[in-house]
Amino acid sequence: MASMWASSSPFLFCSSSLSRRNIVTYNKRSSSPRSKLADVTSMETTIRRSANYSPSLWSYDYVQSLSNKYTGETYIARSRTLKEVVRVMIRNEIGEISPLSILNLVDDLQRLGVSYYFVNEISNVLENVYNNYYKNHEDWIKMDLNLKSLGFRLLRQHGYHIPQEIFKDVIDENGNVKGHFYEDVVGMLNLYEASYHSVEDESILDDARIFTEKYLKEIIEKMSDKNMLSLISHALAFPLHWIPPRVESMWFIELYETRLIGMNPEVLEFAKLDYNMVQAVHQEDLKYVSSWWKETRWEKFGFARDRIVENFMWSVAENYLPHFQGRGDLTKVNAMITTIDDVYDVYGTLQELEQFTNVMNSWDANAIKELPHYMQICFLAFSNAINEMSYNVLANESVFILPYFQKAWQDLSHSYIIEARWFSSGYTPTFEEFVNNAYMSIGIMPIIKHAYVLSLTSVSEDALKRIGRAENMMRSASLIVRLTNDMGTSSDELERGDVPKSIQCYMHESGATEVEAREYIKKLIMETWKKMNKERQAIVSEFPREFLDCVTNLARMGHFMYTDGDKHGKPDMFKPYALSLFVNPIKVEP
C-alpha cells in the first residue's frame, strides 16, 4: 500500500503473477471493457489490475439528508448554562487540599471531549498543581501511586517535564512494581496509561508499562466492577495516548454515565449536548465535501476507492473542534491522496505513471495532453483544488503559498513512483530502503503540510519556514501510520499481488518468521512513539497547540483505522463508527 489509504500497491501492468480475478483488459483505442480472452495475445491492449474495492455505503443523497436538531436556541442556551456550571466547578476544585480531585476532573473533561472550552482554566489549574506538588522531588514521596501516575500523564501531556524518577520508588531493581501497590487497581491502570508518555531511554517507564500490562491482563479475569472492567479492557485495546480524541469521547460518554462514584449529572448532560452540537457541525462539513466529491466525478473512477466518509473521518480525527474551518480542505486532501494512490497502485501502467509524475513535477496543465484521459481528469481536478486553496490564502493573507503545497505533492508522487518501479522490476527493498520511502508514500506529510497552514491564525513566510522545526515529529507520525497500516493490511495486499511491505521486507532481509517480524514492527512502533513524544516536548512552545495535536492525532488514527483490519478500505468495518460519529446523536435527558 503506497499510501495511508492504499490497499494495493505500486500499480499494475502486464504480469503473469496477477490473479485473473483482479485483471481487467482495455483496448488502447477504446475506454470500454473487452473480453479478457480476446485480448490476452493482443499487442493493442494494456492489462490493468483491479483491487475489487467494495462500493461506498454512503450515497450522496443519504449524506445530504443528514440532520440534527441540536442546533436550536434552546439547546445552545442550555449548553451555555452548563458550561458556566462546569467553569465554576473547576475554580472551586482549585481550593481543594488534595490535587487528585481536580486532576480527575481535568481528565474527565478531556475524555468527554469538552476540555477545549476551558483551556485557560485547565492551564492555570495544572500550573498550580505542578508548582505545589510536582516541581520538587521531595513532594513525590508523599504521593500515592494513583496521584503520581495521573499527574505525570496529564502534566506531560500539557508540556511539563516530569522526570521518570517520580516512579523510582514504585519499580524494584528487577523491573517489577513493588507488591504493596497491587491493591491499587486504579493506580496501576493510571501507571499503565502514564507509561505511554515515555521518551527514549526511560527504562523505568518501560518496566512500568510491561509490568502493568501483564498485571491488568491477569486481574481483568477477576474483576467484578463492570465500570472498571470496561476501563481496563479499553485501555489494553487502545491506550489513551494512542486513540483519537473524538473516538474516545464517543466511548467515554457512555461509560461515564454508568459510573457509580464521581459521575456529575451536569457534566454528563453538558458532554452529551456538546457531542450532538459538534456532530451537527460535522454533518454540514460532510455535506460540503460530499458535494465537492460528486462534482469532481472521481467517484466514477471504477478502479479507485469511493471513501469520502472515511476520508472525512481522518479530518475529524485531526481536529474535531467546532471552530476549526479546515476540515473541508483537509478532507479534499485526504480524498485526493486516496485516488492518486489508486492511480499509482492499481490502475496506471509504469509508462503512464512516469508521465504523470513528470506532470506533477512541472505542474504544467498543458503537459497533460500526453496523458491518458483518466489521468487528465485526475490531474486537472487535483490541481484545481490545490490552486483554489492557494488562492484563498493569497487573497486573505497576501502570501503566495502554492510552491509550498506543490512541493508536498511532488514529494509524495516521487515516493509513489519509486514503489512503482520496485513493483515493476520485482525488486524487494531492504527494510531501511522501504522505511525511508514509505514514511512519505503513506501520504501523511501532505496532510500535515496543509493542516499546518489551516491551523495558523496568520500565514507568513516565516511561519512556512518554521515548519522545518517539526520535521522529525511529522516523520515519526507518518512512520507510525505506515507501520500500523502494514500490520493491518499487508496480508490482504500481498494476496492481491502487492509490493512487499515492512513486514515482508524485514522477513526477507533477516530471515525472521512472520510472527517475529510483526513483533519487531510492534516494538518499532513503540520506539517511534517515544521519539515523537520527545520531539513534541522540544517544540511545544513554537507551534499552535492545535497543529501539534493534529500531528499526534494522525498517528493515533493509524492505530484506530488499522488495528484488527482495514477500516478505511473495508466500509463494513467503519460503518458502526460512522453512524455514531456522524449520523446518530446521543440521547440527552436533562
pLDDT at residue 96 in the model? 62
pLDDT at 287 over 60: yes
Distance CA 96, CA 104 (A): 12
**Contact in structure between 314 and 481 (CB atoms under 8 Å):** no
**Contact in structure between 555 and 532 (CB atoms under 8 Å):** yes
pLDDT at residue 495 in the model? 56
pLDDT interval class at 28 (50, 70, 90)? very low
What cell does 32 get?
470500454
pLDDT digits (tens, 9 = 90+) for 541-590: 999 999 999 999 999 999 999 998 899 989 999 999 999 999 999 999 86
Distance CA 152, CA 137 (A): 13
Q: Compute how many other C-beta atoms are within 10 angstroms of the C-beta atom of residue 187.
A: 21
All structural domains of the chain: 20-53+304-563 (1.10.600.10), 73-271 (1.50.10.130)
Distance CA 522, CA 577 (A): 25
Place of cell 459521575: 263
pLDDT at 406 over 50: yes
pLDDT digits (tens, 9 = 90+) for 168-227: 999 999 999 999 999 999 999 999 999 999 999 999 999 999 999 999 999 998 888 999
Phi-psi region at 426: left, alpha or beta (left = phi > 0; alpha = psi -120 to 50): left
Torsion of the alpha carbons at 55, 56, 57 and 58, rounded to the nearest 10? -150
Q: List phi, psi (to 5°) of 27.
A: -80, 135
Q: First vs last Cα of the chain: how many Å apart?
A: 48
Q: Which amino acid is located at 296 in the chain?
A: T
Q: Which long-range contacts (CB under 8 A, 24 or more apart) does 107-111 make?
A: 107/150, 107/154, 108/256, 108/262, 108/267, 109/267, 110/245, 111/240, 111/248, 111/249, 111/252, 111/256
Q: Which amino acid is located at 169 in the chain?
A: D
Check residues 46 and 330 and name the one with the higher pLDDT.
330
Beta bridge pairs of residue 171: 177
pLDDT at 500 over 60: yes
Residue range 382-393: mean pLDDT, rounded: 96
Lowest mean pLDDT among 25-34, 202-211, 283-292, 533-542: 25-34
pLDDT at 21 over 60: no
Q: List phi, psi (to 5°) of 182.
A: -65, -30
What cell does 81 get?
448554562
Residue range 365-369: mean pLDDT, rounded: 93
pLDDT digits (tens, 9 = 90+) for 333-347: 999 999 999 999 889
230-to-48, 240, 381, 490, 536 alpha-carbon distances in Å: 47, 13, 46, 30, 30
pLDDT at 311 over 60: yes
pLDDT at 492 over 80: no
Distance CA 174, CA 557 (A): 35
pLDDT interval class at 490 (50, 70, 90)? low
What cell does 572 get?
463494513
Distance CA 277, CA 483 (A): 35
Distance CA 454, CA 326 (A): 6
The overall longest dimension of the chain from CA atoms, in Å, is 83
Query: Cβ contacts of residue 265 below 8 Å, gap of 6+?
Result: none
Residue from 453, 344, 346 nearest 407 by CA? 453
Which DSSP letter does residue 115 get?
G
Distance CA 447, CA 444 (A): 5
pLDDT at residue 45 in the model? 58
pLDDT at residue 334 in the model? 97
What percent of the chain has pLDDT above 90? 80
Helix boundaries (H) for 241-326: 245-257, 265-296, 308-318
pLDDT at residue 12 in the model? 30
Q: Which amino acid is located at 111 in the chain?
A: R
**Contact in structure between 376 and 485 (CB atoms under 8 Å):** no
Place of cell 457531542: 275
∠ CA 490-493-498, rounded to 5°: 110
Distance CA 321, CA 451 (A): 14
Strands 45-49 and 23-27: antiparallel
Query: Cβ contacts of residue 511 below 8 Å, gap of 6+?
Result: none
pLDDT at 53 over 50: yes
Distance CA 99, CA 512 (A): 49
What cell does 481 get?
501510520
pLDDT at residue 589 in the model? 80
pLDDT interval class at 95 (50, 70, 90)? low
Place of cell 462500493: 55
Residue range 77-101: mean pLDDT, rounded: 88
pLDDT interval class at 136 (50, 70, 90)? confident
What cell does 21 get?
480475478
Distance CA 216, CA 213 (A): 5
pLDDT at residue 97 in the model? 60
Q: Which amino acid is located at 493 in the chain?
A: E
pLDDT at 245 over 80: yes
pLDDT digits (tens, 9 = 90+) for 144-180: 999 999 999 999 999 999 999 999 999 999 999 999 9
pLDDT digits (tens, 9 = 90+) for 458-486: 999 999 999 999 999 999 999 999 999 99
**Contact in structure between 383 and 365 (CB atoms under 8 Å):** yes
Distance CA 263, CA 590 (A): 14
pLDDT at residue 440 in the model? 98
pLDDT at residue 302 in the model? 82
pLDDT at 98 over 80: no
